[in-house]
Structure 1
């Protein structure tokens, strides 16, 4: 058997040990780049692995929230006792209040004869342009007062025609309509001296009216006038201090049946003074009415001066407040000449 060649083997080992090994240099940038490129891959993989878990948790949360909301809604709207809707009573339109104006407006819209042009006011009447009475209202005593008076405001219509039947149709409609609204005929009179064929007073607690048929040389006329009771009260309130002054100072004042028209109040030419003029009369007197004169002096109270049917004498105005209140107004001297009141 041939022996191994130990010398040769030892030499080969020595050659290997003496061989110089060259290691290539390490590129630090390339290593960093390689590392950075490998990191996102790892992150994406981690995210892709965690996403199903997140979705599962979110789904569980939404399911629980939906169940909670459903329970709350069910308890709020289905388990609570049913309540009946409130019953709303049907509202009926309020009827238009009946006033003197609404009555006259209705009558105006239904007259057949030609309407007469209206002029100025004169006491309890309103005149036409030709100075005839267009319509009138009653003299009325408001509740709580001891005198009768005229209203502060009145409404009316007058028609005219040479055909008697047309005017009579207007009168008939006015009477029928007033009665349908609750007014009753109080009395009917005739006055041939004043061409009044027929005159009827209609009234209730709230309204006073006069329906009149007259005959003139040009034909026939209707005269229909109304006033609210509250309008009489307005006048009476204004007259109350004058009425009290009259009862206090006048000689033989009228207590029963006294009537007083609207007061005409004016400022005096002397500062701080006023005067008033009131048409007055008595229902029981046949001598006609008179003009009552009043004045307000420095004490700011009304005082009675005189009742007259003509221009007063200058001696009727005593010195002091009365003359100052009526300064410049007409009066007659001892010779009957008309002069002016000297304050």
Structure 2
């Protein structure tokens, strides 16, 4: 529950203010205060007009000060909630603009004083709740940086502890094998993200179900089982199950493309037209990246509403232009990834491919 919702619950008479009596039990319950006297002292410090009641901005100041937040950060939050609340009552379009501007100010202060992850993961929630509906560009932007934050956090955590394991003559697997931005297949992404967990899933779930030695339909079912378990393993949330099922669905085009690439005539054509083949691979890889982002938007950014927020991008010329430009950008990105792989293979002298 956010601060505005909490304040509304405490404001039983809907007067826009809450009294000391209404504050005592909640603050004692959540541990912000230890006695009624402490609550009264807090209210007396904040209640400058001596009315015995406080408004929303004063309530935020109490909560932030008792949780040890920096006053500057607290003031930024106060300004954010207060400006958006006023704007919402006046004009929705103005509310969206003011809410987003104040969010940017709050994030600028919070990034210096609070955890970066809280800013990134909470930014979408603030915008969605207080700044009006998100547009597709904001959804894509925040979802990317939220996922990038997760990757970087896990990279630091696992490599730190891997360092100590290596110092103790134990060489564990490298969990984050490749940068998140250097993947263009769903399978490759998961083999390089939390690699030890991927190996566990393959060994104890995927292989016992039949692995790769079965037909495509059974393989698709096995992938669905694996990602259902992965969603359950992360948390019992509907959006995480939806995330797992979307990833299972997005695996299917990759399985089809892999089987098509094994056809002798297709392989011969790709070898005869390497440049065209490379661009086809880049385009399909860009589509894979977009599908991965859609799944992560649902699972880790905006929840089940995320996909619906992207639909307007397909309903206007501006949206279609954005999608086309984004797809082209990702296609060029995959070209860079292929170049990196070629360079590594050429340098190692193993399985070197033709440079294009």
TM-score w.r.t. the length of structure 2 is: 0.20
Bigger share in helix? 2
